[in-house]
Amino acid sequence: MDINKLSFNPSLCFINGKWIQPHRGKFIELTNPSSGKILCKISRGSSEDIDHAVKAAQNSDWVHSTALERGRVLLKMSQMVLNEVELLAELEANDVGKPLTQARGDAIALARYLEFYGGASDKIHGETIPYLKGYTVYTLREPHGVTGHIVPWNYPMQIIGRSIGAALAMGNTTVLKPAEEACLSALAFADIASRAGLPEGALNVVPGLGSEAGASLACHPGINHISFTGSEVVGKKIQAAAAKNVVPVTLELGGKSPQIVFEDADLEAALPFLVNSGIQNAGQTCSAASRILIQKSVFNKVKDMMGEKYRALRVGPAIDDLDLGPLISKRQKEIVLNFLELGKGLKIVAKGSISRNAPETGFYIQPTLFEDVPYDHKLAQEEIFGPVQVLIPFDTEDQAIHIANSTSFGLVASIWTNNGARQMRMAKELKCGQVFINNYGAGGGVELPFGGVGRSGHGREKGFEALYGFSTLKTIAAFHG
């Protein structure tokens, strides 16, 4: 793809409805993970750019818009995203390294978030509260003001959709700091928003390093809410920065999510979910099912079924649209290889293969399935963020629950069983934000509140819950005798 033919200049910041040079005139080189070659340069935004963006957000006309007007603009943005799905998918594939089909799915999800929140913006209201004689009491849902959004590189379009879409729908104005590893779709999104008629200052995008633009945004006193998606280490810094300004923060962090397979499950139905949940986006998914817990009586059967699927997996350049693309960076590849080193001595069931078309300079890795891993092993406890899954055997339901809850993360989990009572019991016992029964991910529905417990973070995005999170409640008690 020819980056020079885009309708915006990717090396600029988008502030107050205008494309501008970063204040300090510094840039970062963006790499295409499939080739390891430089894709283009992006802004290395600084505290001055963040300050400019926050001021633009504070003065935006968006705050005066009605809920109906906001909904209409978001719906228009949704339609424009749909019209430009192919371009967005190609950008994301080149930038993130995800196979085209998966990138296309992310662009469609972005449109769906905008559609959902566009439709919801005039359907969220307060309530009246019966109270003492002579009083009328009601509540108002009001926007926080300026919301800061710091997002990672793995699903930029989806995460922008769920967090910026909901924040704008509630009448907030936004400053977005995309990841330095992949930010082209964030800039394309700003371009679409501007063409759709989103008022100046409602969305500002400042690319840059986490330690510079990201840190400046997190501690800026003009920010009234921070939504952060990313690693636990950085999440803690964001929460500390938010605490200094006493502003609320939503943290969407990592995971080590289990799928639990019982002997009475429909194994054929489970199989594609068991594998895809681990290798989608080359395993760089917060809700990846990196642990597969299998009841001992069917352990070998499930292992063989998954092994066969793994051997057929093909890894290659994003544009070739195989099962997996490369990892995002050389650094990420090293992290995953270090985890694989820790697995030395453990049995490997199967690996996928890297296509001949994959350049040596790209960041490719073979998807790897480990057998019979002790549940307290590092491979079964820590987030790897690569295409690596571990199989863990168990005997009883109690054991399965104990193992599933044994990590300090708690994002999602799934249970494969046809025993209804067990489904209900386990859904209550599992410590996480979403439980799936006889599926995994439920198609990623934008309607479904999402978020974690423990080291996976706190607060909820997606669904109506996000609208509550991106607003604050005011109670009005009128005495009229």
Residues designated catalytic: 252, 286
Among 47, 79, 139, 231, binds ligand NAD (CB under 6 A): 231
Stretch that binds ligand NAD, among 62-70, 90-98, 145-153, 441-449 (CB under 6 A): 145-153
Nearest distance in Å: CB 209, ligand NAD = 6
Stretch that binds ligand NAD, among 32-40, 56-64, 208-216, 259-267 (CB under 6 A): 208-216
111, burial (CB in 10 Å: exposed 0-12, middle 13-18, buried 19+) = buried
Identity of the residue, 116 or 153, whose beta carbon is nearer to ligand NAD in the bound complex: 153
Nearest distance in Å: CB 395, ligand NAD = 30
Q: For residue 153, state whether it binds ligand NAD (rule: CB under 6 A).
A: yes
Identity of the residue, 109 or 261, whose beta carbon is nearer to ligand NAD in the bound complex: 109
Identity of the residue, 231 or 361, whose beta carbon is nearer to ligand NAD in the bound complex: 231
Q: For residue 95, state whether it binds ligand NAD (rule: CB under 6 A).
A: no
* Beta carbons of 190 and 8 less than 8 angstroms apart: yes
Stretch that binds ligand NAD, among 27-35, 137-145, 253-261, 333-341 (CB under 6 A): 253-261
Among 165, 230, 343, 469, binds ligand NAD (CB under 6 A): 230
Identity of the residue, 199 or 410, whose beta carbon is nearer to ligand NAD in the bound complex: 410
Stretch that binds ligand NAD, among 93-101, 173-181, 301-309, 345-353 (CB under 6 A): 173-181
d(CA 395, CA 170): 48
Identity of the residue, 62 or 155, whose beta carbon is nearer to ligand NAD in the bound complex: 155
Identity of the residue, 75 or 151, whose beta carbon is nearer to ligand NAD in the bound complex: 151
Among 15, 146, 234, 430, binds ligand NAD (CB under 6 A): 234
Nearest distance in Å: CB 219, ligand NAD = 8
Question: Which residues in 255-274 contact ligand NAD (CB under 6 A)?
Answer: 255
Question: Which residues in 368-407 contact ligand NAD (CB under 6 A)?
Answer: 383, 385
Among 65, 229, 259, 281, binds ligand NAD (CB under 6 A): 229
Q: For residue 286, state whether it binds ligand NAD (rule: CB under 6 A).
A: yes
Q: For residue 215, state whether it binds ligand NAD (rule: CB under 6 A).
A: yes
Q: For residue 253, state whether it binds ligand NAD (rule: CB under 6 A).
A: yes
Identity of the residue, 47 or 355, whose beta carbon is nearer to ligand NAD in the bound complex: 47
Nearest distance in Å: CB 189, ligand NAD = 15
Minimal CB distance residue for ligand NAD = 210
Q: What is the 3-state secondary structure (H, E, C) of the chain?
A: CCHHHCCCCCCCEEECCEEECCCCCCEEEEEECCCCEEEEEEECCCHHHHHHHHHHHHCCHHHHCCHHHHHHHHHHHHHHHHHCHHHHHHHHHHHHCCCHHHHHHHHHHHHHHHHHHHHHCCCCCCCEECCCCCEEEEEEEEECCEEEEECCCCCHHHHHHHHHHHHHHCCCEEEEECECCECHHHHHHHHHHHHCCCCCCCEEECCCCHHHHHHHHHHCCCCCEEEEECCHHHHHHHHHHHHHHCCCEEEECCCCCEEEECCCCCHHHHHHHHHHHHHHHHHCCCCCCCEEEEEHHHHHHHHHHHHHHHHHCEECCHHHCCCECCCCCHHHHHHHHHHHHHCECECEEEECEECCCCCCCCCCCCCEEECCCCCCCHHHHCCCCCCEEEEEEECCHHHHHHHHCCCCCCCEEEEECCCHHHHHHHHHHCCCCEEEECCCCHHHCCCCCECCCHHHEECCECHHHHHHHCEEEEEEEEECC
Residues engaged in binding ligand NAD (CB under 6 A): 150-155, 177, 179-180, 210-211, 214-215, 218, 229-231, 234, 237-238, 252-255, 286, 383, 385, 411
